[in-house]
Amino acid sequence: MQGSFAAPRPNRVALIGTCVPRQCGIATFTDDLQQALIHADASVSAFTVAMTDNKIVYDYSDQVPFEIHHADPASYQEAADFLNVADIEIVSLQHEFGIFGGEAGEHVLGLVGGLNAPLVTTLHTVLASPNPAQRRVMDELIESSARLIVMADKGRQILQDVYGVPPDKIAVIPHGVPDRPFLDPAMAKHDLDLADRTLLMTFGLLGPGKGIETAIRALPALVGDNPKLLYMIVGATHPNLVRDEGERYRESLTALADELGVSDHVRFVDRYLTLDQLLDYLAACDIYLSPYPNEAQIASGTLAYAIALGKAVVSTPFWYAQELLADDCGLLVPFGQAEGFATAIRRLIKDDTLRSEVRTNAYARGRAMIWSRVAEQYFTVFAEVRLERRATNTTVIPFPSLEPGNSPLPPISTNHLAALTDSVGLMQHTKFAVPDRRHGYCLDDNARALLVLTELAAVRPLTGQEDQLLLIYAAFVENAWRPETKKVHNFMSFDRCWVESAGAGDALGRTIWALGAVARHKNARSLDGWAAARMLEITPSLMESASPREWAYGLLGISKLLRRFPGHRNLEQLRGELSNRLFQRWSDAAAPDWFWFEDRLGYDNARLCEALIESGHDTGNQSHLDAGLDTLRWLMTLQTAEAGHFRPIGTETFGSDRRHPQPFDQQPLEACAAVSACLTAARVTSDVRWKREARRAFNWFLGANDLGIPVVDVKRGACFDGLHPDRRNANQGAESTLAYLSALTAILSTAEQDASLSKAARVVELCTAGNKPLRRVPNAFRTGLPEDRPESQLSCGCPNS
């Protein structure tokens, strides 16, 4: 599988920051970002870990499952542990020095240093001249972060020039804003009973850092010509300021307005507004004022909101305003100059054309900042980080070939399989290692389990527990068959009720496959008789199927039973019909650049190849055998990473119309199918290279994969539910565990065969037993491989080979 990969979007995201109903700008930002991520993708689960002031209780929503107490260092470490256990894929940290405890907010380092998931940090403050404590915290935070997000290009510049951050570690994403229509302020002013006023406005939590004194000092020069002018200051005093000083700052502003004689032109809306209430006030504004007193302001949610609603803005040239108001999106005046504010406001009041142009430009810029678009940009960063995490985690692990004397294989353990099984059958899913009863059982998994234990019994004697499990799975298969309809049920709830009407599907094919395996060998309890009888009753239903995978599963089962009863005419006829269908499906779909049975790749792919290889070999149909071998060779080429390890077709490929396989999520089922198909190819061709391919696919379970990590718990015999781009799936369900056990059993079975004879002698021995002449297997594979294969690929086509 070659080429670049689509970046994988995460499904589980945790945000860290202050959160509503706490009253601060970052709390609003965190809540808005969380909601935007969820609304952008319904499959995403996003929650917030909230920073909480000590001794203050907030009525958080259910989307805040965990709190960090500001001054408690242990609380930060507990939060990291919680996020690790919650199996989070991306952590999005909202950083501002003041919201974390310790000197310069250093307590946050105990959190970020303990995370397993990659960290993406949004910097709401970027200091160009940090003190030593701030610099130390920033350096460690930068080191711990996979990506840093800033809201202005000035932030990028400071990170590069002051902190030495590489450019590719920084992303500039604008402050998100609500999506509101472009309205005439007159409409909104009417609803607020302000229809006759020229309305200036500043909003946000009130505090000395907003520079509102400068705006009030500009009013005396304006009210003479504009007697209906009103400056509305919307927002409650910052809670921390109220706690420390009460309303001293608001009272000083009131006193200043009295002193200047403009009290009738200043109005305070002294309360914390909901977002809709705030936007209703802002919609009524004619001119928005942003008089911050110094330039070191890298972001401003209030200014971003004003731009989003298409307001004519007058602002001081702080860093964020310089970028946001460029290109005639607002007017800039020097810091602290009331005269400059008065002049700019007067221009906008008198010049309707200028005011309209500024508003139009501002609204157009704001469209790129609405939350839906910002969420997509965050998702892009998250996906890139996960892809980078996968690349940095990849370890190329050498894999030994499947030859006698090579490194030992893991022992077979069925402990986890037993833990997933009760008296009814095998449960489908788990949460981590715990069986999840809510999803009940399915015939697919119980048939697979019956097949796996039957194959295991050919490798070593079953334990008493395994023998009992075999009966449980057989009973489930028996109960699923509906003789009156000639169909099978698949899904059963935990209370033993079938939850869908009986219908043919892949489960029927897997059932026939399992029954064929059981019926192949004599059994002291006559399970072979039960399986053969039930199989003969079920197999005619395959003729009604249109699924190539169901045909393939059925063919694998039929081939097993025909090895015991090679003269069974009905089964031989059915095998011929199904293999013809599968071959015809390949003939119809295949092209020079697409050597496959369908117009897309799906799940359990190698089973299609395996079925044609086995049936073609057993029946002596050379066309079928060649097609099976060639499609398997093509598939294994696709499932080879650049470094040479096995990379199964990812689930992102399933159901798409793309012919370019995606690498994630990687499923154990695909590795198991590849192992089995390659071993079948090795058996019928005597080509040891197929055994090496099988071992390469099996080593995916052991860590020879894109992440360089094992996918199995060898001691318990448990298999994780696949690989995400940056981690393994923590769940350990039935399908995955059975895939591992089946692949391991097949590898062990092959490894135990006597390999002392040369391959040429082995072919002669088999041909003598079959009393058929040798023939060379031609190479119909169209990838430039040599036309003539080595002598080790001689095959006779007899049932024994």
Residues 280 and 237 both lie in one domain: yes
Residue burial 73-110, b: 16+ Cβ < 10 Å; e: rest = bebbbbbbeebeebbbbbbbbbbbbebbbbebbbbbbb
Given this model, what pLDDT does residue 393 score?
Answer: 54
> Is residue 783 predicted with pLDDT exceeding 60?
no
For residue 717, being part of any structural domain is answered with yes
3-class secondary structure per residue, 50-101: EEECCCCCCCCCCCCCEEEECCCHHHHHHHHHHHHHCCCCEEEEEECHHHCC
Q: What are residue 267's DSSP bridge partners?
A: 232
What pLDDT band is residue 191 in, cutting at 50, 70 and 90? confident
Answer with the residue of higher pLDDT: 142 or 767. Answer: 142
pLDDT for 307-344, tens place per residue?
Answer: 999 999 999 999 999 999 999 999 999 999 999 999 99
**Alpha carbons 128 and 159: distance in angstroms, whole number:** 8
Structure tokens at 629: 């071998």
For residue 699, being part of any structural domain is answered with yes
**Alpha carbons 62 and 379: distance in angstroms, whole number:** 23
Given this model, what pLDDT does residue 390 score?
Answer: 67
**Alpha carbons 218 and 287: distance in angstroms, whole number:** 14
Given this model, what pLDDT does residue 659 score?
Answer: 64
Contact 123, 149 (CB under 8 A): yes
> Is residue 404 predicted with pLDDT exceeding 70?
no
Task: Look at residues 348, 367, 386 and tell me which one is the last residue of a structural domain.
Answer: 367
**H or E element: which one contains 243?**
helix 239-245
Mean pLDDT computed over 36-49? 94
> Is residue 530 predicted with pLDDT exceeding 70?
yes
Residues 415 and 343 both lie in one domain: no
Considering only CA atoms, which of 299, 298, 309, 274 is closest in space to residue 201?
A: 309
Strands (E), 143-215: 147-150, 170-172, 198-203
Residues 695 and 770 both lie in one domain: yes
- Cα–Cα distances in angstroms (integers) from residue 62 to residues 66, 67, 77, 87, 513, in the given order: 10, 12, 22, 18, 47
Given this model, what pLDDT does residue 698 score?
Answer: 97
* DSSP category for residue 653: G
Determine which of 606-610, 703-707, 726-730 has the lowest per-residue pLDDT on average.
726-730
> Is residue 210 predicted with pLDDT exceeding 70?
yes
Mean pLDDT computed over 68-82? 94
Whole-number average pLDDT of the chain = 89
Residues 146 and 231 both lie in one domain: no
Given this model, what pLDDT does residue 658 score?
Answer: 56
> Is residue 263 predicted with pLDDT exceeding 90?
yes
For residue 754, being part of any structural domain is answered with yes
DSSP string, 448-465: HHHHHHHHHHTTSPPPHH
How many other C-beta atoms are found inside a 10 Å radius of the C-beta of residue 367?
A: 14
**Residue-range definition of the domain harbouring residue 607:** 394-793
Residues 362 and 399 both lie in one domain: no
Structure tokens at 605: 């792919």
Mean pLDDT computed over 212-234? 95
Residues 52 and 196 both lie in one domain: no
* Number of domains present in the structure of the chain: 3
Given this model, what pLDDT does residue 291 score?
Answer: 96
Contacts of 472 by beta carbon, 8 Å cutoff, 6+ apart: 421, 423, 424, 425, 426
Task: Look at residues 137, 172, 207 and tell me which one is the last residue of a structural domain.
Answer: 172
Residues 348 and 447 both lie in one domain: no
Answer with the residue of higher pLDDT: 556 or 524. Answer: 556
Structure tokens at 437: 């009863």
Sign of CA dihedral 335, 336, 337, 342: positive
Residues 290 and 424 both lie in one domain: no
Task: Look at residues 172, 197, 212 and tell me which one is the last residue of a structural domain.
Answer: 172
For residue 573, being part of any structural domain is answered with yes
Cis amide bond preceding 21, omega within 30: yes
Residues 231 and 283 both lie in one domain: yes
Residues 258 and 406 both lie in one domain: no
Structure tokens at 320: 């964020």
Residues 21 and 149 both lie in one domain: yes
Residue 505 sits in a domain whose CATH number is 1.50.10.10
Contact 617, 602 (CB under 8 A): no
Judged on CB neighbours under 10 Å (0-12, 13-18, 19+), 615 is buried
For residue 782, being part of any structural domain is answered with yes
**Alpha carbons 327 and 323: distance in angstroms, whole number:** 9
Contacts of 157 by beta carbon, 8 Å cutoff, 6+ apart: none
What pLDDT band is residue 778 in, cutting at 50, 70 and 90? very low
> Is residue 103 predicted with pLDDT exceeding 90?
yes
> Is residue 455 predicted with pLDDT exceeding 80?
yes
Q: How many residues does the chain have?
A: 801
Residues 624 and 699 both lie in one domain: yes
pLDDT for 545-574, tens place per residue?
Answer: 999 999 999 999 999 999 999 989 999 999
For residue 503, being part of any structural domain is answered with yes
For residue 1, being part of any structural domain is answered with no
Residue 277 sits in a domain whose CATH number is 3.40.50.2000
pLDDT for 720-770, tens place per residue?
Answer: 999 988 889 999 999 999 999 999 999 999 887 634 333 434 443 443 334
DSSP string, 659-706: SS----SB-HHHHHHHHHHHHHHHHHH--HHHHHHHHHHHHHHHT-ST
For residue 107, being part of any structural domain is answered with yes
Contact 153, 323 (CB under 8 A): yes
Given this model, what pLDDT does residue 522 score?
Answer: 87
> Is residue 164 predicted with pLDDT exceeding 70?
yes
Answer with the residue of higher pLDDT: 773 or 229. Answer: 229
